[in-house]
Structure 1
Amino acid sequence: MIPDLPPGLVARPLELTDAHAVFEVMAAQELADLGVVSIEAADIVADWQRPSFDVSSSTCGVFDGERLVAYAEVMDGSRADAAVDPAYRGRGVGTALVGWVRQRARDRGMARVRLPAALGSPADRLLESLGFAVWWELWELFLPEGAEIPARPLPAGHVLREATPEDYPAVWTVLEDAFLEWTDRERTPYDDFLASVVRRPGFEPWHLRVVTDPDGGVVGAINVVMFGGDEAYVNKVATRADRRGEGIAQALLADAFAVARAHGANRSGLSTDSRTGALGLYEKVGMRVTSTWVMRGVEL
């Protein structure tokens, strides 16, 4: 499948049952590059179990015997991802996987492809050497442990609460409308939203919260996931376009952090990038940048 692998390594398409092995490779890479792990197996399962995602045709795993030592995947839009176990760096595995990503993207008719990398990491340097330019920056932020979480007032007549199944279509619409303003992918199917959010391993009702207006319409939504039992992470937060600038997103963030703390979270985090202009919003609620990533891309 990949002709330029070092002797002794083989490649094959992956399956959903390989998700935990992929997590282990990605976690090892993050630990080596950042000193912390910010991914868990549920993230991969939630993404791969989407009805629109065909795991076998979208992934490539590199194995040393039975052990997965590297992987790559091509997703929707121009997105791709890859990771190499640090013990296998410097052997051409990453270069081979990037070549696979480029070819698979071309086979799908994609005009460009992009991969994330921790700023200054071996992956970042490799992508730069292979002609991938920086398209934008990404930041991971966390609310410092023990930081005060002041409540943010809502406009009169608005309510902040857990989302119910009846709210899910409106939540999907608000989130998709917001994120499609600055992404290059198609609208995520509703069933994919359910698979990656509501059916994500470990989901609890309080993980999805909404702000409704006096008529009961959803004007803002936030999705939180728990990581390691004591860390909350905001997967997505969005406000309906016609209701921005009223403090709704800040209220959702403050509420999510407070509720997560009540459920055992010692700290809360999220990520954003330079396309959104939202960095200042998160800093206003007391969050601080803990790591910087770059999204590198190339035209095909």
Structure 2
Amino acid sequence: MTDLVLPPGYTTRPVQARDIAALHALIQACERQLLGYAESDADEIRAVLGRPGLDPASDTVLVTGPDGTVAAWAWVNRRSDADVHPAHRGRGIGTGLLDWIELRAGAAVISQTVPDGDHAATRLLRSHGWTPMVTSWQLAIAFDEPPAPDAPDGIALRPFQPGDEHDAYTVLEDAFDEWQQRRKSYEEWAMLTVGRDTFDPARSVIATAGGQIVGVLLALDLPGIADGYIERLAVRADHRGRGLAQALLRACFAACHAAGRRSCVVWTHSDTGALGVYERAGMTVRRSSTVYRSP
């Protein structure tokens, strides 16, 4: 880690599995400072460390402060991310981490997602020549009584059940192949979805036709936030244009309402072309992020 220039008293080492709780606390501190609340879960960190091709020994760095507490971290593997605890900002640590990310990436073009409200991070990336690539939006809806989850003719809606995993994976990845750069393996996909501790099968919705899964909505129950959370939504290509996505969303809203939630959120971005799907369901943009590409 000698490539990382830091203020006196700060030390570095690779991230280890035993650091997950401390990193989760770090990320939540950053979220509270930016948003006023925390919305991440530790499973996201586990998924990062389990990314295919990522070697924690060389592709991650953890920064500890003079008092021995976790002050920052970063990783790079086709994408990158970095977080600096609010108590340790203004000392050049973020700049040092970005220099390390760029050096570790070498000639490879990588991307990093930054909340648009994080003006300091946005300025830092732009000053290094990173350019906007994709806009992401978090959409939200509040409801006292959600609309009835009526399904198109020939379609049945039900909660997610054990055994749905592989068919759900196929429907979602087939749909995401239309814009994503790389198809995930089942194992990687499961780490990000149904394998997470926060996966909520009761609020996830499966649409079937003729006994086959043709639509999937996966929901999470994230600790610390009042919203229901939609992680992924897709409809098989031969069943689009019939209002099935709207039916899946309404079914999720109803399940969230039954669980005592009075709002629901989802993220989408400009490459998917799905913004209108959520807006037609009554969802509106709450906040946004930008995906930046390295020089």
Could you tell me the TM-score, scaled by structure 1's length? 0.88
Give CA deviations for 1:47-88 in whole Å, capped at 9, x if unaligned.
Answer: 54567655444321111143111111224xx32211111222
Once the two structures are superposed, the pairs formed by residues 11-50 of structure 1 within 5 Å of their partners are 11-49=12-50
The total of aligned residue pairs comes to: 291
Q: Which amino acid aligns with 1:34?
A: L
Q: CA deviation at 1:295?
A: 0.9
- In 1, Cα distance between equivalents of 2:110 and 2:99: 11
CA gap 1:209/1:49 in 2 versus in 1, 3 angstroms: farther
Pick the aligned partner of 1:225 from 220, 234, 256: 220
Aligned to 2:280: 284
CA gap 1:277/1:43 in 2 versus in 1, 3 angstroms: same
Give SS of 1:102's match: helix
Q: CA deviation at 1:190?
A: 1.1
The sequence identity of aligned pairs, in percent, is 37
- In 2, Cα distance between equivalents of 1:42 and 1:103: 27
Q: CA deviation at 1:169?
A: 1.3
Pick the aligned partner of 2:184 from 171, 188, 201: 188
CA gap 1:239/1:53 in 2 versus in 1, 3 angstroms: farther
Pick the aligned partner of 1:135 from 133, 136, 143: 133
Give CA deviations for 1:242-275 in whole Å, capped at 9, x if unaligned.
Answer: 2222111111111112112222323211111111
Aligned to 2:112: 115
Aligned-pair RMSD on alpha carbons?
2.2
- In 1, Cα distance between equivalents of 2:248 and 2:55: 34
CA gap 1:244/1:53 in 2 versus in 1, 3 angstroms: farther
Give SS of 1:224's match: strand
Give SS of 2:294's match: strand
Once the two structures are superposed, the pairs formed by residues 1-300 of structure 1 within 5 Å of their partners are 1=1, 2-49=3-50, 54-64=55-65, 65-75=67-77, 78-106=78-106, 111-121=108-118, 122-144=120-142, 146-184=143-181, 186-213=182-209, 215-228=210-223, 230-299=226-295
- In 2, Cα distance between equivalents of 1:131 and 1:52: 26
Q: Are the equivalent residues in 2 in contact too, given 1:14–1:59 (CA < 8 A)? A: yes
- In 1, Cα distance between equivalents of 2:293 and 2:100: 15
Q: Are the equivalent residues in 1 in contact too, given 2:28–2:38 (CA < 8 A)? A: yes
Q: Which amino acid aligns with 1:181?
A: E
Q: Are the equivalent residues in 2 in contact too, given 1:134–1:297 (CA < 8 A)? A: yes
Q: Which amino acid aligns with 1:227?
A: L
Give CA deviations for 1:127-184 in whole Å, capped at 9, x if unaligned.
Answer: 111111111111112112x344212432222111123333221110111111221122
Q: Are the equivalent residues in 1 in contact too, given 2:199–2:219 (CA < 8 A)? A: no
Q: Structure 1: which 5+ residue stretches go unaligned?
A: none
Q: Which amino acid aligns with 1:292?
A: S
Q: Which amino acid aligns with 1:277?
A: G
Q: Which amino acid aligns with 2:279?
A: E
Q: Are the equivalent residues in 1 in contact too, given 2:200–2:221 (CA < 8 A)? A: no
CA gap 1:204/1:282 in 2 versus in 1, 3 angstroms: closer
Give CA deviations for 1:176-209 in whole Å, capped at 9, x if unaligned.
Answer: 111221122x221112223332321143432542
- In 2, Cα distance between equivalents of 1:128 and 1:51: 28
Q: Are the equivalent residues in 2 in contact too, given 1:4–1:96 (CA < 8 A)? A: yes
- In 2, Cα distance between equivalents of 1:58 and 1:149: 45
Q: Which amino acid aligns with 1:67?
A: T
